[in-house]
């Protein structure tokens, strides 16, 4: 019964999406200053639709919580013996559930936009909601016709199939929802961009409406990617933190586009420049979200994320992708010429630096996109190639290094036009740091080029991030500026972690008999014993490894080789010892015939900084949103006070005419 | 410079960057692409020693041998014909690496004709088959299908 309510809610929501689309489009037909009688339905439709879509998701969540085995989706992806947390997270650990989550977030953000955004002109708002409804409608259709999450089994299954053990992890509770919310936040940016393009209202006021959505989506994408990277690092047991796997790239590409968009929308808001460029990036960012969904969900890729290989679904998403992206670029091509040019600026200026950053980000995006799609293309011609780190790392670095250098200087430049001579000291400091650190590291040993560059840049960026605060009263610095400083510093921290991991990691692989000791760096590790252990739905062989640094107090690490019994599968659980300056990473392998155990241990200096940096970057974004919202609230209250005062004055003025006599 | 000219310059810069990215891609992929080989292809046209490639096939029954250090493993990969390639791998074997099962080895061919693998991909879980293995012989494919669709339908 509960599932039927969910299905009905989904159908109703789809119907409301149609209403929202029609009503929003009607507002475009209204004459200046008038309101089309049809146009008033768009906002309520979006809000009610948000409630219905969220309700549909909640009913599915409930079905998973009680393990309703008469539902096909629950029976094939859950198990009554699973821990409660993983029953719930299992809701989006499969194709249909994750698409329902996507649609739920899409509708919820559409509802938020409709409910709270009052600054935009009604016509632009109508057009935006029409686009949002159109996007939502496509995904409702996809859910209802090609991947119905509420499908019943003719006969309830006696027991569920369980969830892929790799996905039974707390990382799964966080990673997909944040990433989805980020993807979908970009859909609002897309709808706003299309709305503004259709009504030719591309101006700073529009940019200020769009900015929190872009920032919010970008923060969530940053967190989602950071969490995903850490999950892959400790769960897959390969010791790497980024594999340039197509699925990872699918989340990186929208992030790159959103980063460019976020900077360009700031220029538009502050300086009324880069109008069409911002719209283009808005379309591009959402296109990348859609492409990511297509790559991950259609089954073109085989990975832990591709839940079901079903050509019909792939074709459906590809159709939606073509419709939305093709449509958006067509409208862009037709309308972009009609958007008036923005304000001009010199090459050496804040805008100039941001344009450079945007162009470099787009180039990196192109590099990643080509590297991701090329193997898929050649496969159609039966040539099987794979594109891996040997391509992505250097090719990406060609554009990333100049971008990072300009990023160090950009925030110091003035708007509109500036003279490089004014920044002599800062430029010299940044150059000295890059060269000095690289020279210093080279002095101590031979390291690969990219980590070396990374170390030099990280040092320079860490200092440069704080230079915009120089000579300012720290208490009066706007919160949004603090956000920028912290996000840029986060990039430096992350880069430092990546470079250290690349340059200084040590690895030890050995077959160790119980009682045997091996050495890695400052650490001595002793295999004490290997014992069987059991969890709620798995059994495992657990190694006790005593690790002591420089002969100090030993710490016990317990890596496991786990065997899940539903579905039957084995995974390797790494054990981590986190120090302030790095992590020791241990994995247990097979037992050799002579009774020795394979143990693989890495010492990864400062590897944790990669994810600390990611968190700092996201924190910077949160501060930027908070700062903007605070300013906006102040402005609104000031405006309403002003209006109040004027009204009072007028009231006084009306009473003013004094009788002559 | 008029605003219109500035917009034109921006468009040109953006296109230049995209073309540069494309050029970097073409240049990098000429020597960084890693091609996929079956054992018979590797026997017929061996790739240059040291070039990163991937080898896919079935692990021959009884061929997995662990060397004295306990962490280096050699095994033989078979394909559709009688040609085989010996693979040496130093590291922890994937959980699902077993005899008579599909495997993809990433690495390069050594001068002695032994394939030195830096990474092995076995069946990841029951829903995941390395895409390359889909082109295997019908019998193997049928076996793979029954192996990989346990519990579906």
What pLDDT, in 10s, does the model give residues A426-443? 899 999 999 999 999 988
Q: Is the pLDDT of residue A463 over 80?
A: yes
User: With bands split at pLDDT 50, 70 and 90, how would you rate the model's confidence at A406?
Assistant: very high
Rounded to an integer, what distance in angstroms lies between the CA atom of residue B121 and that of residue B128? 11
- pLDDT, tens digit, for every residue of A539-554? 888 999 999 888 888 8
Burial-class residue B111 by CB neighbours within 10 Å (0-12, 13-18, 19+): exposed
Query: Is B21's CB within 8 Å of A366's CB?
Result: yes
pLDDT of residue A7: 92
Q: Where are the alpha helices (DSSP H) in A30-94?
A: 42-65, 72-77, 84-89
pLDDT of residue A489: 96
Structure tokens given for A53: 């879509």
Q: Across the interface, which of B2, B14, B28 has its CB nearest the CB of A359?
A: B14
pLDDT of residue A233: 87
Q: Tokens 């299309």 identify what position?
A: A194
pLDDT of residue A56: 94
Helix (H, G, I), strand (E, B), or coil: what is residue A555?
strand
Beta strand A538-549 with A555-557: parallel, antiparallel or unpaired?
A: antiparallel
**Facing residues of A386 across strands?**
B34
Rounded to an integer, what distance in angstroms lies between the CA atom of residue A278 and that of residue B25? 26
Query: Is B28's CB within 8 Å of A359's CB?
Result: no
Q: Is the pLDDT of residue A460 over 90?
A: yes
Exposed e or buried b per residue across A453-483, where buried means at least 16 C-beta atoms within 10 angstroms of its C-beta = bbbbbbbbbbbbbebbeeeeeeeeeeebbbb
User: Closest Cα to residue A573, out of A226, A238, A148, A154?
Assistant: A238
**Lowest model confidence (mean pLDDT) among A98-112, A469-483, A619-633, A647-661:** A647-661
- pLDDT, tens digit, for every residue of B68-111? 887 888 999 888 778 888 999 988 887 667 787 778 888 888 88
Rounded to an integer, what distance in angstroms lies between the CA atom of residue A140 and that of residue A53? 9
Q: Which strand (E) or helix (H) includes residue A604?
A: strand A597-605
Tell me how far the alpha carbon of residue A288 is from its chain's centroid.
11
Rounded to an integer, what distance in angstroms lies between the CA atom of residue A265 and that of residue A27? 26
pLDDT of residue A37: 76
With contacts defined as CB-CB under 8 Å, which chain B residues touch A571? 95
Q: Across the interface, which of A355, A359, A391 has its CB nearest the CB of B29?
A: A391
Which residue has better confidence, A653 or A215? Answer: A215
pLDDT of residue B124: 47
pLDDT of residue A563: 82
**Is the Cβ–Cβ distance between A384 and B32 less than 8 Å?**
no
pLDDT of residue B148: 42
Mean pLDDT over A640-645 rounds to 89
Rounded to an integer, what distance in angstroms lies between the CA atom of residue B77 and that of residue B84? 6
- HSE-up of B119 (CA within 13 Å, CB side)? 11
**Is the Cβ–Cβ distance between A79 and A161 less than 8 Å?**
yes
pLDDT of residue A73: 85
pLDDT of residue A654: 64
- The radius of gyration computed from the CA coordinates of chain A, to the nearest angstrom, equals 28
Q: For residue A627, what are the contacts with CB-CB under 8 A and spacing of at least 6?
A: A478, A479, A480, A481, A482, A483
For an interface test with B, the pick among A388, A565, A597 (most B C-beta atoms closer than 10 Å) comes out as A388
With contacts defined as CB-CB under 8 Å, which chain A residues touch B17? 359-360, 362-363, 366, 399
Query: Is B24's CB within 8 Å of A384's CB?
Result: no
Query: Is A569's CB within 8 Å of B132's CB?
Result: no
User: With bands split at pLDDT 50, 70 and 90, how would you rate the model's confidence at A129?
Assistant: very high
Q: Is the pLDDT of residue B129 over 60?
A: no
Mean pLDDT over A72-85 rounds to 82
Q: Tokens 């150059």 identify what position?
A: A431
Structure tokens given for A219: 């923060």
- What are the two backbone dihedrals, phi and then psi, of residue A544, each rounded to the nearest 5 degrees? -100, 115
Highest mean predicted confidence (pLDDT) among A280-294, A642-656, B29-43: A280-294
User: With bands split at pLDDT 50, 70 and 90, how would you rate the model's confidence at B143?
Assistant: very low
Query: Is B29's CB within 8 Å of A374's CB?
Result: yes
Q: Across the interface, which of B92, B125, B130 has its CB nearest the CB of A164?
A: B125
User: With bands split at pLDDT 50, 70 and 90, how would you rate the model's confidence at A140?
Assistant: very high
> Chain B closest CA to A1's CA: distance in Å?
24
User: With bands split at pLDDT 50, 70 and 90, how would you rate the model's confidence at A624?
Assistant: very high
Rounded to an integer, what distance in angstroms lies between the CA atom of residue A25 and that of residue A36? 10
- HSE-up of A94 (CA within 13 Å, CB side)? 25
Mean pLDDT over A139-157 rounds to 87
Mean pLDDT over A17-31 rounds to 85
Q: Is the pLDDT of residue A253 over 90?
A: yes
Query: Is A589's CB within 8 Å of B93's CB?
Result: yes
Instruction: Tell me what percent of the residues of chain A surpass a pLDDT of 70.
Output: 94
Structure tokens given for A279: 């719209």
pLDDT of residue B139: 42
Q: Is the pLDDT of residue A303 over 60?
A: no
Per-position DSSP letters for A640-653, written without gaps between them = HHHHHHHHHHHHHH
Q: Tokens 């590897």 identify what position?
A: A607
Prior bond to A158 cis, omega within 30?
no
Burial-class residue A553 by CB neighbours within 10 Å (0-12, 13-18, 19+): exposed
User: Closest Cα to residue A93, out of A107, A108, A73, A122?
Assistant: A73
End-to-end CA distance of chain B: 67
Query: Is B22's CB within 8 Å of A370's CB?
Result: yes
pLDDT of residue A131: 92
Query: Is B34's CB within 8 Å of A386's CB?
Result: yes
* pLDDT mean across residues, chain B: 75
With contacts defined as CB-CB under 8 Å, which chain B residues touch A391? 28-29, 32-33
pLDDT of residue B135: 44
Query: Is B128's CB within 8 Å of A391's CB?
Result: no
Which residue has better confidence, A338 or A257? Answer: A257
For an interface test with B, the pick among A366, A375, A559 (most B C-beta atoms closer than 10 Å) comes out as A366
**Is the Cβ–Cβ distance between A592 and B68 less than 8 Å?**
no
Query: Is B34's CB within 8 Å of A387's CB?
Result: yes
pLDDT of residue A295: 80
- pLDDT, tens digit, for every residue of B13-33? 888 988 999 998 888 877 777
pLDDT of residue A445: 83
pLDDT of residue A283: 92
Q: Is A359 left (phi over 0), alpha (psi -120 to 50) or beta?
A: alpha
Q: Tokens 């020693």 identify what position?
A: B49
User: Closest Cα to residue A479, out of A622, A269, A658, A285?
Assistant: A622
> Chain A closest CA to B54's CA: distance in Å?
9
pLDDT of residue A31: 64
Query: Is B93's CB within 8 Å of A303's CB?
Result: no
ipTM for this model: 0.78
Structure tokens given for A395: 């090719």
User: Closest Cα to residue A288, out of A184, A395, A385?
Assistant: A184
Inter-chain CB pairs, A–B, below 8 Å? 141
For an interface test with B, the pick among A261, A299, A385, A593 (most B C-beta atoms closer than 10 Å) comes out as A385
Instruction: Tell me what percent of the residues of chain A surpass a pLDDT of 90.
Output: 35
For an interface test with A, the pick among B9, B11, B32 (most A C-beta atoms closer than 10 Å) comes out as B32
pLDDT of residue B67: 83
> Chain A closest CA to B110's CA: distance in Å?
19
With contacts defined as CB-CB under 8 Å, which chain B residues touch A165? 125
Mean pLDDT over A279-297 rounds to 87
Query: Is A341's CB within 8 Å of B93's CB?
Result: no
Exposed e or buried b per residue across A278-296, where buried means at least 16 C-beta atoms within 10 angstroms of its C-beta = bbbbbbbbbbbbbbbbbbb
User: With bands split at pLDDT 50, 70 and 90, how would you rate the model's confidence at A496?
Assistant: very high
pLDDT of residue B146: 44
> Chain A closest CA to B85's CA: distance in Å?
19
Q: Is the pLDDT of residue A355 over 60?
A: yes
Rounded to an integer, what distance in angstroms lies between the CA atom of residue B1 and that of residue A282? 27
Helix (H, G, I), strand (E, B), or coil: what is residue A388?
coil
With contacts defined as CB-CB under 8 Å, which chain A residues touch B69? 510-511
* pLDDT mean across residues, chain A: 86
**Is the Cβ–Cβ distance between B116 and B72 less than 8 Å?**
no
Q: Is the pLDDT of residue A304 over 80?
A: no
User: Closest Cα to residue A297, out of A307, A285, A287?
Assistant: A307
pLDDT of residue B150: 41
Instruction: Tell me what percent of the residues of chain B surpass a pLDDT of 70.
Output: 76
Query: Is B21's CB within 8 Å of A364's CB?
Result: yes
Nearest CA in chain A to B147: A568
CB atoms within 10 A of CB A202: 26
Q: Which strand (E) or helix (H) includes residue A409?
A: helix A389-409
> Chain A closest CA to B36's CA: distance in Å?
5
User: Closest Cα to residue B56, out of B125, B127, B132, B147?
Assistant: B132
pLDDT of residue A621: 95
Structure tokens given for A572: 């390797």
Which residue has better confidence, A397 or A335? Answer: A397
> Chain B closest CA to A617's CA: distance in Å?
26
pLDDT of residue A384: 74
Q: Is the pLDDT of residue B151 over 50?
A: no
Q: Is A642 left (phi over 0), alpha (psi -120 to 50) or beta?
A: alpha
For an interface test with B, the pick among A400, A569, A586, A595 (most B C-beta atoms closer than 10 Å) comes out as A569
With contacts defined as CB-CB under 8 Å, which chain B residues touch A588? 92
Q: For residue A442, what are the contacts with CB-CB under 8 A and spacing of at least 6?
A: A452
- pLDDT, tens digit, for every residue of A477-492? 888 999 999 999 999 9
Q: Across the interface, which of A161, A303, A509 has its CB nearest the CB of B90?
A: A509
Cα–Cα separations (whole angstroms), residue A243 to A163, A233, A370, A653, B143: 24, 10, 16, 72, 30
pLDDT of residue A609: 95
Query: Is A387's CB within 8 Å of B124's CB?
Result: no
- HSE-up of A579 (CA within 13 Å, CB side)? 15
Query: Is A509's CB within 8 Å of B70's CB?
Result: no
With contacts defined as CB-CB under 8 Å, which chain B residues touch A366? 17-18, 21-22, 25
With contacts defined as CB-CB under 8 Å, which chain B residues touch A342? 3
With contacts defined as CB-CB under 8 Å, which chain B residues touch A370? 21-22, 25
Q: Is B136 left (phi over 0), alpha (psi -120 to 50) or beta?
A: beta
pLDDT of residue B149: 40
Question: H/E/C letters for each residue in chain B?
Answer: CCHHHHHHHHHHHHHHHHHHHHHHHHHHHHHHCEEEECHHHHHHCCCCCCCCEEEEEEECCCCCEECCCCCEEEEEEECCCCCEEEEEEECCCCCCCCCCCEEEEEEEECCCCCEEEEEEEECCECCECCHHHHHCCHHHHHHHHHHHCCCCC
Rounded to an integer, what distance in angstroms lies between the CA atom of residue A557 and that of residue A545? 5
> Chain A closest CA to B4's CA: distance in Å?
7
């Amino acid at each position: 019964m509960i599932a039927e309510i969910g299905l009905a809610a989904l159908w109703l929501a789809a119907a409301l999406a149609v209403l929202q689309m029609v009503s929003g489009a009607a507002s475009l037909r209204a004459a200046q200053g008038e309101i089309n009688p049809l146009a008033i339905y768009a906002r309520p439709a979006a809000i009610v639709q948000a409630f219905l879509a969220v309700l549909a998701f909640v009913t599915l969540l409930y079905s998973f919580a009680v393990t309703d085995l008469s539902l096909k989706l629950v029976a094939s992806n859950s198990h009554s013996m699973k821990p409660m947390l993983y029953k719930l997270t299992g809701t989006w650990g499969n194709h249909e559930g994750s698409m329902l989550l996507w649609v739920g977030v899409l509708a919820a953000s559409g509802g938020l936009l409709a409910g709270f955004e009052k600054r935009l002109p009604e016509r632009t708002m109508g057009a935006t909601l029409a686009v949002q409804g159109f996007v939502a409608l496509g995904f409702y259709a996809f859910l209802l016709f090609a991947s119905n999450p509420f499908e019943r089994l003719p006969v309830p299954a006696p027991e569920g199939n369980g969830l892929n053990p790799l996905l039974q992890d707390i990382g799964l509770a966080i990673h997909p929802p944040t990433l989805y919310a980020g993807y979908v936040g970009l859909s609002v940016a897309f709808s706003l961009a299309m709305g503004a393009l259709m009504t030719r209202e591309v101006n700073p006021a529009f940019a200020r409406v769009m900015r929190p959505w872009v920032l919010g989506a970008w923060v969530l994408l940053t967190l989602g990617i950071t969490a995903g990277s850490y999950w892959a690092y400790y769960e897959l047991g390969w010791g790497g933190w980024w594999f340039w796997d197509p699925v990872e790239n699918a989340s990186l590409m929208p992030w790159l586009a959103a980063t460019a968009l976020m900077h360009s929308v700031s220029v538009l808001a502050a300086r009324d420049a880069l109008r069409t460029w911002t719209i283009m990036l808005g379309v591009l960012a959402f296109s990348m979200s859609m492409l990511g969904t297509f790559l991950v969900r259609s089954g073109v890729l085989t990975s832990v994320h591709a839940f079901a290989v079903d050509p019909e679904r792939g074709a459906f998403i590809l159709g939606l992708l073509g419709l939305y992206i093709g449509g958006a670029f067509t409208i862009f091509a037709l309308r972009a010429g009609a958007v008036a040019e923005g304000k001009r600026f010199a090459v050496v200026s804040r805008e100039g630096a941001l344009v450079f950053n945007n162009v470099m980000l787009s180039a990196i995006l192109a590099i990643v996109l080509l590297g991701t799609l090329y193997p898929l293309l050649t496969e159609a011609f039966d040539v099987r190639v794979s594109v891996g780190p040997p391509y992505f790392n250097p090719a990406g670095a060609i554009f990333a290094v100049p971008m990072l250098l300009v990023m160090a200087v950009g925030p110091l430049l003035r708007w509109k036009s500036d003279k490089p001579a004014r920044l002599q000291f800062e430029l010299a400091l940044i150059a000295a740091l890059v060269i000095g650190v690289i020279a210093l590291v080279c002095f101590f040993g031979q390291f690969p080029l990219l980590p070396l560059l990374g170390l030099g840049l990280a040092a320079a960026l860490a200092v440069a991030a704080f230079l915009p605060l120089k000579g300012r009263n720290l208490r009066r610095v706007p919160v949004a500026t603090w956000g920028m400083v912290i996000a840029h510093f986060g990039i430096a921290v992350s880069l430092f972690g990546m470079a250290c991991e690349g340059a200084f990691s040590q690895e030890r692989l050995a077959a160790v008999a119980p009682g045997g000791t091996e050495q890695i760096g400052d650490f001595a590790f002793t295999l004490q014993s290997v014992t069987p252990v059991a969890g709620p739905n798995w059994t495992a062989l657990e190694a006790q490894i005593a690790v002591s640094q420089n002969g100090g107090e030993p710490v016990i690490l317990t890596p496991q080789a786990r065997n899940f019994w539903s579905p039957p599968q084995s995974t390797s659980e790494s054990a981590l010892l986190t120090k302030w300056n790095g992590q020791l990473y241990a994995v247990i392998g097979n037992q050799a015939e002579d009774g020795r155990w394979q143990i693989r241990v890495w010492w990864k200096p400062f590897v944790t900084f990669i994810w600390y940096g990611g968190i700092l970057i996201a924190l910077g974004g949160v501060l930027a949103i908070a700062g903007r919202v605070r300013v906006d609230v102040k402005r609104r209250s000031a405006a309403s006070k002003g209006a109040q005062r004027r009204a009072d004055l007028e009231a006084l003025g009306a009473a003013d005419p004094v009788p002559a006599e | 410079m008029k605003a219109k000219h500035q917009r034109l310059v921006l468009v040109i810069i953006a296109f230049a960057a995209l073309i540069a990215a494309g050029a970097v891609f073409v240049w990098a992929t000429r020597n960084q692409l890693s091609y996929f080989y079956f054992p018979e292809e590797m026997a017929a046209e061996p790739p240059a020693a040291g070039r990163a490639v991937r080898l896919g096939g079935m692990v021959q029954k009884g061929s997995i041998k662990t060397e004295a250090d306990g962490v280096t493993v050699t095994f033989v990969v078979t394909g559709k014909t009688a040609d085989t390639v010996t693979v040496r791998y130093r590291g922890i074997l994937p959980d699902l690496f077993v005899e008579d099962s599909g495997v993809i080895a990433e690495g390069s061919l050594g001068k002695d004709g032994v394939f030195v693998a830096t990474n092995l991909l076995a069946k990841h879980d029951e829903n995941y088959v390395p895409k390359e293995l889909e082109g295997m012989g019908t019998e193997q494919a049928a076996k793979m299908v029954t192996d990989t669709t346990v519990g579906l339908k």
